[in-house]
């Protein structure tokens, strides 16, 4: 499947900015960029990579740890010992000589357009080095496998499901669910959203249960390709 040059996943976007920052100076002059412009672009790349990799990543892990701590306390037996509080990471220092200026993604679009408009730009050399060219192979609906990006119990009998849409190549996703041990899948519906919440009640009110989910991608109301891997989650009662 051909994908745009800029990744969908935030973590991969940080890697993209890091690569651009590492390689841009090698081609900047040939592409028509001047000294102050080069410094500003390298600053943006440095800040974007820092925000995503050094700031966001540890705090996303903290959210997961805090959620797990809360669920442990809520679901524990009456009077059970309270687990230790999650450790809050220290805020990381800014990269040396870097300044945060809002609007990095908007400026990035302009850099890339300007790079590609240069007569010295070569897709197979400079484009590959800067990662400004689409990657992958053409989308094949027969071999595409649907994906569940994430699955999380967010409350009693509530499951948040994040879905993939093949960078816009599919129209929707059909979502299926069953309780662990069952053989028959129940179709929850066909959804165009990237995120949905399943509020199916637990079999026994107030009692947690293990539940499985899978999805199939949909184009023009027809399920296509390969079903996603089966994902499992414990659902609070």
Residues in the chain, total: 237
Count CB neighbours of 118 within 10 A.
Answer: 14
User: Among 217, 215, 218, which residue's Cα sits nearest to residue 231?
Assistant: 215
pLDDT score recorded for residue 224: 95
Count CB neighbours of 45 within 10 A.
Answer: 24
User: What would the mean pLDDT of 118-137 be, rounded to a whole number?
Assistant: 91
pLDDT score recorded for residue 137: 67
pLDDT score recorded for residue 2: 52
* 143 CB-contact burial (10 Å; exposed 0-12 / middle 13-18 / buried 19+): exposed
Under 8 Å between Cβ of 198 and 228: no
Count CB neighbours of 28 within 10 A.
Answer: 19
pLDDT score recorded for residue 159: 95
pLDDT top residue among 237 and 112: 112
pLDDT at 140 over 80: yes
pLDDT score recorded for residue 60: 81
pLDDT 10s digits, 60-84: 888 888 888 888 888 888 888 888 9
Element (H, E) at 151: strand 148-155
User: What would the mean pLDDT of 120-128 be, rounded to a whole number?
Assistant: 95
pLDDT score recorded for residue 58: 84
pLDDT 10s digits, 197-227: 999 999 998 889 999 999 999 999 999 999 9
Half-sphere CA count of 75, side-chain side, radius 13 A: 17
Under 8 Å between Cβ of 233 and 197: no
User: What would the mean pLDDT of 11-34 be, rounded to a whole number?
Assistant: 95
pLDDT 10s digits, 97-106: 999 999 999 9
With a pLDDT cut of 70, the percent of the chain lying above it is 97
Q: What is the pTM of this model?
A: 0.58
Backbone phi, then psi, for 224, in 5-degree steps?
A: -125, 165
For the chain, give the mean pLDDT.
91
């Amino acid at each position: 499947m051909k994908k745009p040059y800029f990744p969908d996943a935030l973590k991969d976007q940080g890697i993209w900015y890091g690569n651009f920052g590492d390689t841009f100076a090698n081609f900047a002059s040939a592409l028509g960029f001047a000294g102050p412009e080069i410094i500003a672009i390298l600053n943006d790349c440095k800040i974007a990579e820092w925000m995503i990799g050094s700031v966001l990543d540890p705090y996303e892990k903290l959210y997961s740890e805090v959620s797990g701590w809360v669920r442990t306390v809520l679901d524990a037996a009456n009077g059970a010992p309270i687990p230790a509080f999650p450790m809050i990471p220290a805020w990381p220092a800014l990269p040396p000589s870097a300044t945060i200026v809002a609007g990095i993604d908007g400026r990035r679009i302009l850099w890339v357009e300007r790079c590609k408009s240069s007569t010295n730009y070569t897709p197979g050399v400079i484009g590959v080095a800067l990662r400004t060219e689409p990657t992958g192979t053409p989308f094949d609906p027969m071999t595409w496998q649907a994906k569940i990006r994430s699955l999380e119990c967010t409350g009693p009998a509530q499951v948040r499901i994040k879905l993939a849409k093949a960078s816009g190549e599919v129209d929707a996703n059909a979502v299926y669910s069953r309780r662990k041990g069952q053989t028959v899948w129940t179709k929850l519906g066909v959804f165009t959203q990237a995120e949905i919440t399943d509020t199916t009640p637990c079999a026994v009110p107030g009692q947690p249960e293990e539940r499985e989910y899978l999805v199939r991608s949909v184009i023009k109301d027809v399920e296509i390709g390969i079903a996603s891997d089966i994902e499992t989650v414990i659902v609070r009662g």
